[in-house]
Amino acid sequence: MLAAVTLLSAQGCAPEAPADAATQAGHAVSIAMARNIYETYVKDSDAAAASGDQATALSIVTSAQWAQVKSQYLALASAGTAVPRYTFGPPTFYVPSLSGFPQWFVVSVPRRTLAGGHPGPAVSTLMLFARDKTTVTWTLSGMAVLSDPLPKVALDGGYAIPVSTIDQSLLLRPDVVGATQAAVVDDGPASPAAAVVAAGPQTTGLYAAQAAQAAAQQRRGLQYQWLLQGSPFPEVGLRLADGGALVFYGMYLNTTNEHPNLDAGSPIPVPAEFAPVLTTPGQVGYHAVYANWAYQYAAIDPPASASDAKLQIIGWQSGPSYGHAF
């Protein structure tokens, strides 16, 4: 699922800035630097996957990607299954013009899973790389698999244009995008936030799935609750050609399934994907089961001037991040 990959021989990128010293000196991260960081990650991640080296795989990722990779390696080791490997097609680099920290860039690339030595269908994927200071290495912070085409990103001399988390020209300030999505996931279409959030698998669809789970558990005499909440993962944005923004952010989906009043009762089943990440192996939920997910999202935040526009989640990836039963 998450451990990467083997580079295809063809490599592409967004147009580079003019090759003059003054232009290049104005960018803390050049497109050539981004390409090198990406290719190094691809090589190291594939080597880790080939040998099942969890320590190396975790050393080159952070944030949502770290939680997802850790749970993947644990699950595969528990099942005695090899870590999947991937091939990536020609990447396009969106490197924002930045002069300080944090530093980050985005890669858009088709990804294929290798099955039996043969690549599967291409999946359009966004990869967010970041670092907070010069003393830390570049890591992959998150990946989002696209469900919709990527809109045109605005470029200036080949470089992308970063968007502030408090940008007022957008329908929603980027720093409240996650909270607005969460209001719909937690409260459903009746939430006032639904007026500015498009229906979809990760908004009204996620609410419907969780509500159905709650109803099913209630029939068993259990109490099931869920909460989509913010995370400390990087929150960044790129200006789009239409004036909107492509916003990247992470979220946690926290779920609880318990006997009323946390009284002891018959064992509550632990979801299969969470068994390998329980805080202690083999825990039994006589009272409650906590199962939390880490999400990486990519969303389109339209310009404030757009008529009847809504926030649209166009990409995501998730994985178990915490499991506990007692």
Region 88-107 average pLDDT: 94
Note the pLDDT tens digit of each residue in 221-262. 999 999 999 999 999 999 999 999 999 999 999 999 999 999
Show the domain range for 324: 163-326
Give residue 325's pLDDT band: very low, low, confident or very high (50, 70, 90).
Answer: very high
Residue 12 reports pLDDT greater than 70: no
Same domain membership, residue 111 and residue 6: yes
The confidence score (pLDDT) of residue 107 equals 98
How big, in percent rounded to 5, are the helix, strand and coil portions of the chain? Answer: 30, 35, 35
Same domain membership, residue 106 and residue 245: no
The confidence score (pLDDT) of residue 258 equals 98
Domain count, the chain: 2
- Alpha-carbon distance 311 to 245, whole Å? 10
Note the pLDDT tens digit of each residue in 261-294. 999 999 999 999 999 999 999 999 999 999 999 9
Q: What SS3 class is residue 262?
A: helix
Distances in Å between the Cα of 140 and the Cα atoms of 66, 239, 250, 276, 318 are 8, 21, 13, 23, 15
**162 DSSP 8-state letter:** B
> Domain end: 126, 142, 161, which one?
161
Note the pLDDT tens digit of each residue in 164-175. 999 999 999 999
Q: Which amino acid is at 125?
A: T
Residue 4 reports pLDDT greater than 90: no
Same domain membership, residue 74 and residue 32: yes
Give residue 101's pLDDT band: very low, low, confident or very high (50, 70, 90).
Answer: confident
> Domain end: 128, 161, 194, which one?
161
Q: Comparing 17 with 91, which gets the higher pLDDT?
A: 91
Q: What SS3 class is residue 306?
A: coil
Name which of 129, 143, 151 is nearest 2 in CA terms. 143
Residue 27 reports pLDDT greater than 90: no
The confidence score (pLDDT) of residue 19 equals 30
Same domain membership, residue 101 and residue 168: no
Mean per-residue pLDDT of the chain:
90
Same domain membership, residue 305 and residue 269: yes
Residue 188 reports pLDDT greater than 60: yes
User: Where does 43-102 show beta strands of DSSP type E?
Assistant: 86-88, 92-94
Show Cβ contacts of residue 262 under 8 Å, excluding neighbours closer than 6 positions: 287, 288
Same domain membership, residue 80 and residue 149: yes
Same domain membership, residue 229 and residue 157: no
- Alpha-carbon distance 300 to 311, whole Å? 6
> Domain end: 103, 132, 161, which one?
161
Same domain membership, residue 180 and residue 103: no
Radius of gyration of the chain from Cα atoms? 21
CATH code of the domain in which 97 resides = 3.10.450
Same domain membership, residue 220 and residue 254: yes
- Alpha-carbon distance 269 to 285, whole Å? 7
The confidence score (pLDDT) of residue 168 equals 95
Same domain membership, residue 291 and residue 257: yes
Instruction: Check: pTM over 0.75? Answer yes or no.
Output: yes
- Alpha-carbon distance 22 to 18, whole Å? 10
Q: What SS3 class is residue 176?
A: helix
Show Cβ contacts of residue 137 under 8 Å, excluding neighbours closer than 6 positions: 60, 131
Same domain membership, residue 322 and residue 188: yes
